Amino acid sequence: MLVKDENAMSDRWGKRPSDRSVGELLEAGVIALDKPAGPTSHQVTAWAKDALCVGKMGHGGTLDPNVSGVLPLCLGKAMRLTDLVLSSDKEYVCMMRLHRDRDEKRIKEVFQRFIGKIYQFPPVRSAVKRQLRIRTVSELKILEISGRDILFRISCDAGTYVRTLCTDIGEALGCGASMAELRRTRSGSMNESVTASLFDLKDSYIFWQQHGREDWLRNIVKPMESLVEPLPKIIVKASAVDAVCHGADLNVQGIHMLDDDIRKNALVALMTTRGELVALGTMMMSSSKIMATSQGKAVSVSRVLMDAGTYPRMWKFSTDIEELRD
């Protein structure tokens, strides 16, 4: 991480995400739910919302009713970040069933053809427009072959249809194939090792409400900052945080630190020195250019996540706000 101003004001305001109360986490948190096979993603989200008694909750990435696995849930203010979850890469474990017998060597050869760029049409019953799409499969590994059943793991772009992939592999093998079972094991940075069941949600909430034991619930509900972990970061000076919260773009003078090698037009997360998410924005110049200058607009802010007033106002409305927009 590059330092733009080493003499920046020390951070005396705000609160580290790890220091937030359970109530604050429920107003802007993220849950990796282990969705069971059977109900729809919408139904599961409604049950989770009732279990935690929260006002707003949405899921990031629909799973078919018969598919289980990682379903990210965004609470309250974190719902404004669901698009980051939707666009993140995914990992699945799938059981595919061939319609006729095929030699294992032939099966492995065909699987190799579907690594890299692939072309897909969404299924007929899909909610999206049926047009040819290009998706990237970064990993396609056969875990086990038992007769006509093939168990494999796939890491792929968001929007990749595993059911369609099974059909396409079956056609390439000349025998036909269909998806028998599917489980999502990872969505972005959330993997199945950190998931919680619906029973866990309900029980942990009761433990907190009735017994004052919050450790279990804290382990389940993570701060919304976990959703921006993959993004490059810019640390905003304490004196510029409130201006950004009021809608100002971030200029070079408002930067305390930033990651190196950030490209122009890249999506970035604006953070405080305490690790709080302030806003998302688009880089107007590269990080190397920012380090070489002392003025100009560095980030065009597109989405503010922090409430105004969290940090003190240190700018004059008529003059400083215009300077921040330069």
Catalytic residue among 5, 11, 50, 64: 64
Rounded distance between C-alpha atoms, residue 79 and residue 72, angstroms: 11
Per the annotation, the verdict on 34 as an active-site residue is no
| Residue for token pair 């101003």 | 5
Please give the positions annotated as active site: 64
